[in-house]
């Protein structure tokens, strides 16, 4: 737990002035920097921090889940921005007006919910799916609702399991130490 406390004190708090805000911003910046750890790593880190008393359970959960939702929305808008850039060119307009692009948009409209839900469970597929969702002009409000519900359910499950496992491990360690 000392390593986790040092990470929070030496990186997250100086980064944003507050460790909860630092956690939120680091998660959000993971949308921009592709070498950043996946969302699960931050969820595990936050859950372990909650179990250790470093993060408050409510504000820590809000920082984690809010950061993930904002990250995913940022990736959606990156797709929309790419589409806007492409639509400003002759080749881009040819592509956007092609039958295959229109077929892809139709498929996303009809089955996009399953892509948004499914990519949550397969590492490495989220960013491309969310960018494609924006690129194919999937309705933003539908994207936000679907993605937020899945993030909240998935994230809270991860956080609860981590808190339970860390506390169980700490209790087992205390029992071993006291039995010596």
pLDDT at 176: 61
Predicted local confidence at residue 159, as pLDDT: 92
* Average of per-residue pLDDT values in the chain: 87
Structural domain count of the chain: 1
> Per-residue pLDDT for 17 more than 80?
yes
Domain carrying residue 162: 2-179
Confidence band for 177, pLDDT divided at 50, 70 and 90? low
- Predicted TM-score (pTM) of the model is 0.85
- Token pair listed for 155: 């994230």
pLDDT, tens digit, 9 for 90 and up, residues 58-115: 999 999 999 999 999 999 999 999 999 998 899 988 999 999 999 999 999 999 999 9
**CA dist., res. 15 & res. 67, Å (int):** 15
Residues with Cβ within 8 Å of 89's Cβ and at least 6 positions away in sequence, in order, are none
What are the start-end ranges of the H helices in 30-139? 39-51, 57-86, 90-96, 99-119, 126-135
Give the pLDDT score at 7: 84
**13 vs 32, more confident:** 13
DSSP states of 158-171 as a string? HHHHHHHHHHHHHH
Measure the CA–CA gap between 3 and 9, rounded to whole angstroms: 10
């Amino acid at each position: 737990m000392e390593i986790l406390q040092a990470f929070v004190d030496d990186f997250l708090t100086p980064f944003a002035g507050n460790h909860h805000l630092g956690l939120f911003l680091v998660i959000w910046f993971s949308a921009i920097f592709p070498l950043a750890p996946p969302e699960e790593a931050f969820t595990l880190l936050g859950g372990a921090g909650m179990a250790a008393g470093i993060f408050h359970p409510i504000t820590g959960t809000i920082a984690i889940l809010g950061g993930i939702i904002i990250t995913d929305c940022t990736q959606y808008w990156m797709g929309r921005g790419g589409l806007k850039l492409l639509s400003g060119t002759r080749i881009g307009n040819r592509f956007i007006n092609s039958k295959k692009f229109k077929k892809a948009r139709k498929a996303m409209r009809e089955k996009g919910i399953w892509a948004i839900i499914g990519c949550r469970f397969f590492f490495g597929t989220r960013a491309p799916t969310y960018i494609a969702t924006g690129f194919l002009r999937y309705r933003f409000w539908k994207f936000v609702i679907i993605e937020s519900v899945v993030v909240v359910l998935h994230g809270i499950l991860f956080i609860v399991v981590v808190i339970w496992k860390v506390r169980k491990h700490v209790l087992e360690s205390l029992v071993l130490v006291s039995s010596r």
